[in-house]
Amino acid sequence: MFYEEVRKALKDNAFKVVKIVFVGFTATTLAMGVSACRPYESVKSALEEDAVPPMPAPEVATYVLDLSGSTNPTAQLEALGSGIEDFMAGRSLGNPVAKSPEAPRGLSIQFITANAAQAPRIQLVSVEASQELYKYVVNRDLNLEGSTLLWKGFIKAREQIWQSSALAGNPAECVDQVIAYFGKQQLGPDELQEPARLICQDAKKTANAIKRLDSFVSNPKVKIGSDVEGALTIGLKNLINGKNQFPSARITLVIASDLIDEIGLDLPRRLAGSDIDQACEFGTSDASRITADYSDVNVVLVGARNSIASTQLLDRVGSYWSCYFNQIGITNIEEKSDLSGF
């Protein structure tokens, strides 16, 4: 309708004056509008560029370590070692400001013994500290340079406080040392007290967890055996709980075991004389009684051949568990000799 009226006005000389006034007014108005919008767009663009990048979804893992007689627990722990070390230092915090953003990481360890319910579950690192630190940075309204500098300071402090005697000292000493590790920042020492406390608390929890881990491995004080299914069931349930707490999390069950369950499943006897396909059928049948959906879980098998069992039995057991996992929805299964680079 608007364009039709303009066309008619152009054809009618009587409306020339009106046309000139109208067009002149419109052009001026549009010019003013465009001119007024440009500063807003520029400010909006600058604000978006200075915003803290989103934190990647967390990665939550449970390591299951076999202490039964059929495996070499020292070799299994060594296979897990490289992965554990990465979790204990600053990498556990993640890094939203890196060129390739890194996810925060949480890690728990549990054990295969004669009764999985009696073995402890030890949380080495939680993603909660990273989440709280990220909220702190976002709420400071720093520019991107300041946010990047601050997060790099967090990672450096988390790595270095781990090696410092201040971690074992009083809380105030630890906080002061962490603030010193932050280096030069856009925020003052008083404002940095809160993240420094979070890092001290997080590192202290990890240090205490490592002591518990070393103590249990050297002297379990529970009956040693191979309740593999019991340990895996507990691990899977804990991962689903973690998924409920952090819905976007990637959850992984890392198993350092030959997976020979001699307690509830009695696999050596049941799989004796079977072939790979029959072992698979056993696994599918046993898992069919499980109604929970574990399709969000990833499984990594580490050092599955660190065993005194025969190659034939290990092959059957591998087939059994592959089909068992598939039946409960787990299809992403990897096998590694160790966790280097995991």
What is the domain partition of the chain in residue ranges?
2-50, 59-336
**pLDDT confidence of 230, banded at 50, 70, 90?**
very high
Distance CA 83, CA 73 (A): 16
pLDDT value, residue 18: 32
**pLDDT confidence of 68, banded at 50, 70, 90?**
confident
CB 234 within 8 A of CB 280: no
Neighbours of 329 (CB within 10 A): 14
pLDDT value, residue 341: 55
The answer to whether residue 213 scores a pLDDT higher than 50 is yes
The answer to whether residue 8 scores a pLDDT higher than 50 is no
pLDDT value, residue 28: 43
Distance CA 90, CA 147 (A): 17
Higher pLDDT, 300 or 5: 300
pLDDT value, residue 14: 37
**Per CATH, the architecture of 59-336 is what?**
3-Layer(aba) Sandwich (3.40)
Predicted TM-score (pTM) of the model is 0.80
The answer to whether residue 332 scores a pLDDT higher than 90 is yes
- Partnered with residue 107 across adjacent β-strands are 61, 125
CA-wise closest residue to 68 among 335, 260, 318: 260
Using the structure block, give the residue that is written with the tokens 């050596």. Answer: 268
Whole-number percent of the chain with pLDDT over 90: 63
Range 121-131 average pLDDT: 93
**pLDDT confidence of 308, banded at 50, 70, 90?**
confident
What rounded mean pLDDT belongs to the chain? 83
The answer to whether residue 51 scores a pLDDT higher than 60 is yes
The answer to whether residue 117 scores a pLDDT higher than 80 is yes
**pLDDT confidence of 20, banded at 50, 70, 90?**
very low
